[in-house]
Chain A
Amino acid sequence: MIPSSHALLESNFQSKIDNEIKIEPKDWMPDDYRQTLIRQISQHAHSEIVGMLPEGNWITRAPNLRRKAVLLAKVQDEAGHGLYLYSATETLGADREQLIDDLHEGRAKYSSIFNYPTLSWADMGAIGWLVDGAAIMNQVPLCRCSYGPYARAMVRVCKEESFHQRQGFEIMMSLANGSPAQKEMAQDALNRFWWPALMMFGPNDATSKHTAQSMKWKIKRHTNDELRQQFVDATVPQAELIGLTVPDPNIVWNDETKHYETSPINWDEFWQVVNGNGPCNKERVAARKEAKENGTWVRDAAMAYAKKRSALVTE
Chain B
Amino acid sequence: MSDQEWPLWEVFIRSKQGLSHKHVGSLRASDAQLAVENARDVYTRRSEGISIWVVASNNVFASDAAEADAFYDPANSKVYRHPTFYDIPDGISHM
A and B are interacting partners: yes
Q: Is the CB of B30 within 8 A of A87?
A: no
- CA of A223 to CA of B30 in the docked complex: distance in angstroms? 41
Q: Is the CB of A83 within 8 A of B27?
A: yes
User: What residues of B have a CB within 8 angstroms of the CB of A303 in the complex?
Assistant: 2, 4, 6, 30
Residue of A nearest to B65 (CB): A26
- CA of A213 to CA of B91 in the docked complex: distance in angstroms? 57
Q: Is the CB of B25 within 8 A of A84?
A: yes
- CA of A149 to CA of B4 in the docked complex: distance in angstroms? 26
Using a CB–CB cutoff of 8 Å, the interface residues on chain B facing chain A are 1-6, 8, 24-31, 34, 41-42, 45-46, 62, 64-66
CB distance from A303 to the nearest CB of B (A): 5
Knowing A80-B45, A97-B5, the reply to whether A28 touches B26 (Cβ < 8 A) is no
Knowing A160-B46, A296-B2, the reply to whether A306 touches B30 (Cβ < 8 A) is yes
Total count of chain A residues near the partner, CB < 8 A: 29
Residue of B nearest to A292 (CB): B2
Per-residue contact bits, chain A 137-165, to B (CB 8 Å; 1 contact, 0 not)? 00000000000010011001000100000
> In A301-315, which residues have CB < 8 Å from any B CB?
302-303, 305-306, 309-310
CB distance from A97 to the nearest CB of B (A): 5
Q: Is the CB of A87 within 8 A of B31?
A: no
- CA of A87 to CA of B5 in the docked complex: distance in angstroms? 14
Q: What would be 15 A-B contacts, judged by CB atoms less than 8 Å apart?
A: A26-B64, A26-B65, A28-B65, A77-B45, A80-B45, A84-B42, A87-B25, A96-B28, A152-B25, A153-B25, A156-B24, A296-B2, A299-B30, A302-B30, A302-B31
User: What residues of B have a CB within 8 angstroms of the CB of A262 in the complex?
Assistant: none
A300 in contact (CB, < 8 A): yes
Residue of A nearest to B8 (CB): A90
- CA of A309 to CA of B33 in the docked complex: distance in angstroms? 11
A24 in contact (CB, < 8 A): yes
In the complex, which of the residues B5, B64, B65 contacts A96, with contact meaning CB atoms closer than 8 Å?
A: B5
Residue of B nearest to A293 (CB): B1
Knowing A80-B45, A296-B1, A299-B6, the reply to whether A24 touches B65 (Cβ < 8 A) is yes
